């Protein structure tokens, strides 16, 4: 069977330049697609997010969600919540399924949930 190598989630955004600025402040390396489309990329470590400008996007009705497994949910929450970006930050808490989870909802309504295994947990993201 052919191996699946990586994944890139595509997030809809209202304004590509604003979104690229947000993700850059969150620690991603950002770049714009060089063609005609309003499309860009945000990369950090092994994570790739594609950002696609969509007219008429309503952040209040977005159903887009991405889950990021991280070394420390607390450290990422601290980093992102002090980055000076708009959006909603949700502090991490322990779950009954072995993860410490937090979340960030960007200005376009995209939910980035993140979690790290609790001590003694066998849960992994891979």
Q: How many domains does the chain have?
A: 1
Predicted confidence at residue 116, as pLDDT, reads 96
Residue 114 contacts by C-beta under 8 Å, 6 or more apart in sequence? 67, 68, 69, 70, 73, 76, 77, 92, 101, 102, 103, 104
pTM of the prediction?
A: 0.92
* Any domain includes 1: no
* Any domain includes 123: no
Predicted confidence at residue 83, as pLDDT, reads 97
Predicted confidence at residue 124, as pLDDT, reads 65
Domain range holding 68? Answer: 8-117
Profile the chain (126 residues) by mean pLDDT over runs of 10 residues: 93 98 98 93 96 96 95 98 97 96 98 93 64
Predicted confidence at residue 123, as pLDDT, reads 67
* Any domain includes 122: no
* Any domain includes 69: yes
CATH of the domain at 55: 3.10.180.10
């Amino acid at each position: 069977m052919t191996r699946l190598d990586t994944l890139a989630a595509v997030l809809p955004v209202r304004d590509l330049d604003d979104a690229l600025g947000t993700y850059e402040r969150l620690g991603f390396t950002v770049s714009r697609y060089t063609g005609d489309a309003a499309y860009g990329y945000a990369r950090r470590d092994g994570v790739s997010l594609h950002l696609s400008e969509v007219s008429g996007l309503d952040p209040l009705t977005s159903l887009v969600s991405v889950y990021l497994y991280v070394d420390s949910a607390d450290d990422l929450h601290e980093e992102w919540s002090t980055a000076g970006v708009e959006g909603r930050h949700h502090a991490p808490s322990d779950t009954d399924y072995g993860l410490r989870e937090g979340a960030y909802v960007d200005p376009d309504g995209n939910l980035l949930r993140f979690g790290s295994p609790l001590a003694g947990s066998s849960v992994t993201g891979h």
